[in-house]
Amino acid sequence: MTLKKTLLASIIGATVAGSALLPLTASAEALRIGYSADPETLDIHEQLSGGMLRFSHLAFDPLVRWTKDFDFEPRLATEWEQTDDTHIRMTLREGVTFHSGNPFTAKDVVWTIERLQESPDYKAIFEPIASAEAIDDYTVEITTTEPYPLMLNLATYIFPMDSEFYTGETDSGNDKAEIVKAGNSFASRNVSGTGPFRLTDRRQGVRVDFERFEDYWDTETEGNVSSIVLTPISENASRVAALLSGGVDFIDAVPPNDLERIRESGDVELIEVPGTRIIGFQLNQEKVEAFQDVRVRQAVDLAINQEGIADRLMRGFATPAGQFSPEGYSGHNPDLVPRYDLERAQELMAEAGYEDGFTVDMIAPNNRYVNDAQIAQAVANMLSRINIKVNLRTMPLAQYWPEYDTRQSDIAMLGWHSDTEDSANFFQYLSFCIDDETGAGQYNYGNYCNEEIDALVTEADSVTDLERRNEMLREAEAMLYEDVGFVMLHWQNLAYAAANGVDIEPVVNAIDFPYLGDLVINR
């Protein structure tokens, strides 16, 4: 009797002491976000896009996630071990619950991986995985078809879904797990993840509301955001105005024209992050015979002043590039820098017998990349100095892609972000010899083909010794640089801005997925 009473008293005492301590921690804060887009759907496997991955990091947790320096940080997977060439074993975090209240176990991870393999958007990326198996409640073994060095890169895309919640049939008899593109599926309307925020309301195109998940596993984070209202504001000027007027606390994609204005405003803070999206041009060798000559390709590359464009046109909002891989990527080769040299370019044109130049068509989008139409215009002007006369056509994105797919123009602009945050992806999509069977060179507009490079990159992709693999990729970058398989321009920077006291610097990264669960607000 007395024992029970003592116990009870000590529990009450502990509770009181605990609540007395609470005011010492940072106070709970509401966050109002103005993003350029809101998530297209609630089904994280329906579409692979920046907006969806940002949403995934709010309502879900990945197995591992990228740090600012492109290292891996454990999230739902706490440990991993490559047991042999084709097997990797992951230990999962215990005591994690989904928003629905279901406990998180290995079967959810297996279920999620199997669903990813069904998803049209993720299918290709998850092709190397043969199977996943739950060894026990908190251990998963993933088998790859071949030795595969990028398993952890893939794990950043595995956001375990609540398998129990998504299993069964809806009232209208549809499978709750089905992935329907642009359709009305259960998963596109309902969500249960393990993430730091629980979705409370969503009016598509107007606002999305989140509340902090009270049973979130990560109690060590200092993040103190208690609720989020996300408003999509697609118009650049309006998004900046919303921040400056105090209507929102945090915006993404600050346009270059407003960088100065935000830097000078005392009430908001600008954070620039070097991005990973390469912007460049592809020379169509099928349409223009001259582009088959490596000297002409080199001349084009030499005639373009990458530094000048990054400096003046982009106002420092871009990093001039001489290769696909940005700094931090496995294949980044510090020796490959832009090499603007107009005289040498003119010499090369003369050597190739094109002293008098020729006329080409160029296409570029006008609302996809930062300053895309202006960049294309500037490049067209630069090419005129080696007597290549460019007829430029720019068009909105919705029209650009169908036009791009026809491959009817002579030069096309393209920006590319590697889905795996790895160098090999750039080559596979942009410079590999076109092969409709395997899908290689899907975005190789110019029909460029260098089998040596292809072989090197393909070999690298089955080397699990990462040091050796990086060496091979750096070599591939150097070969492409010499051969000008892609006319590199720059990596477009990312810019975020937030009201004073909203400390976004630690949570934003080059991958463009802010980790808002860890955001600290001190107003």
Partner 1 sequence: MIAFLIKRLMHAVLVMFVISVLAFAIQDNLGDPIQQMVGQSVPESEREALRERLGLNDSFLVQYGRFAKNAVQGDFGYSYFYREPALGVIARHLPATLELVFAATLIIVLLSVPIGVYSAIKPRAVLSRFFMGASIIGISIPVFLTAIVLIQIFSIGITVSLFPESTGWGAWLNGLLSTQGNMPSFGRGYDLVHVVGHWDTNMASWDGLKHLVLPAISLASIMLPLFIRLIRAEMMEVLQSEYVKYARAKGISMRRVYFVHALKNTMLPVITVGGVQIGTMVAYTILTETVFQWPGMGLMFLDAINRADIPLIVAYLMIVGVIFVVTNTIVDLIYGFVNPTVKLTGKPA
Nearest alpha-carbon partner for 122 in 113, 110, 133, 132: 113
Q: How far apart are CA 57 and CA 53, in angstroms?
A: 6
Q: Candidates 429, 445, 496, 513: give the one binding partner 1 (CB under 8 A).
A: 429
CA angle 504, 509, 515 (to 5 degrees): 60
Residue 328 binding partner 1, by CB under 8 A: no
Residue 205 binding partner 1, by CB under 8 A: yes
CA angle 516, 519, 520 (to 5 degrees): 160
Q: How far apart are CA 170 and CA 167, in angstroms?
A: 9
What does R_g of the chain's alpha carbons equal in angstroms?
A: 25
Binding mask 35-54 for partner 1 (x = CB under 8 A): -----xx-----xxx-----
From residue 155, give the alpha-carbon distance in Å to each of 2, 149, 152, 325, 419. 53, 12, 5, 21, 12
Q: Candidates 221, 387, 442, 464: give the one binding partner 1 (CB under 8 A).
A: 442
Query: Minimum distance from CB of 184 to partner 1 (Å)?
Result: 5
SS (H, E, C) 19-76: HHHHHHCCCCEEEEEEECCCCCCCCCCCCCCHHHHHHHHHHCCCCEEECCCCCEEECC
Given the complex with partner 1, which of 123 and 315 has the nearer CB atom?
123
CA 296 to chain centre: 33
- Contact window for partner 1 (CB under 8 A) among 94-102, 330-338, 354-362, 391-399: 391-399
Please say whether the beta carbons of 491 and 511 come within 8 A. no
Given the complex with partner 1, which of 26 and 397 has the nearer CB atom?
397
Given the complex with partner 1, which of 181 and 385 has the nearer CB atom?
181
Q: Candidates 88, 125, 302, 480: give the one binding partner 1 (CB under 8 A).
A: 125
Please say whether the beta carbons of 449 and 434 come within 8 A. yes
SS (H, E, C) 418-483: CCCCCHHHHHHHHHCCCECCCCECCCCCCCCCCHHHHHHHHHHCCCCCHHHHHHHHHHHHHHHHHH
Given the complex with partner 1, which of 27 and 184 has the nearer CB atom?
184
Q: Candidates 13, 103, 168, 246: give the one binding partner 1 (CB under 8 A).
A: 246
Query: Minimum distance from CB of 76 to partner 1 (Å)?
Result: 23
Residue 402 burial by CB count (10 A; 0-12/13-18/19+): exposed, middle or buried?
exposed
Q: How far apart are CA 183 and CA 175, in angstroms?
A: 13
Residue 416 binding partner 1, by CB under 8 A: yes
Q: 362: which strand partners?
A: 392, 411
- Contact window for partner 1 (CB under 8 A) among 381-389, 411-419, 447-455, 482-490: 411-419
Binding mask 206-235 for partner 1 (x = CB under 8 A): xx---------------------x-xxxxx
Q: Candidates 130, 134, 152, 241: give the one binding partner 1 (CB under 8 A).
A: 241
- What 3-state class would DSSP assign to 376? helix
- Residue 34 backbone dihedrals phi, psi, to 5 degrees: -115, 95
Q: Candidates 83, 123, 307, 315: give the one binding partner 1 (CB under 8 A).
A: 123
Instruction: Identify residues 349-378 at the interface with partner 1 (CB under 8 A).
Output: 367
Residue 199 binding partner 1, by CB under 8 A: no
Structure tokens at 153: 């890169």
Given the complex with partner 1, which of 415 and 446 has the nearer CB atom?
415
Q: Candidates 247, 308, 328, 357: give the one binding partner 1 (CB under 8 A).
A: 247
Given the complex with partner 1, which of 242 and 388 has the nearer CB atom?
242
CA angle 411, 415, 419 (to 5 degrees): 135
Structure tokens at 345: 């370019």
- Total residues contacting partner 1 (rule CB under 8 A)? 54
Residue 178 binding partner 1, by CB under 8 A: no
Q: Candidates 114, 121, 347, 471: give the one binding partner 1 (CB under 8 A).
A: 121
Given the complex with partner 1, which of 125 and 313 has the nearer CB atom?
125
Given the complex with partner 1, which of 83 and 367 has the nearer CB atom?
367
- Contact window for partner 1 (CB under 8 A) among 69-77, 213-221, 246-254, 286-294: 246-254
Query: Minimum distance from CB of 231 to partner 1 (Å)?
Result: 6
Residue numbers at the binding site for partner 1 (CB under 8 A):
34, 40-41, 47-49, 120-125, 181-184, 188, 203-207, 229, 231-235, 237-238, 241-242, 244-248, 367, 396-399, 401-402, 405, 416-417, 419, 425, 429, 436, 439, 442-443
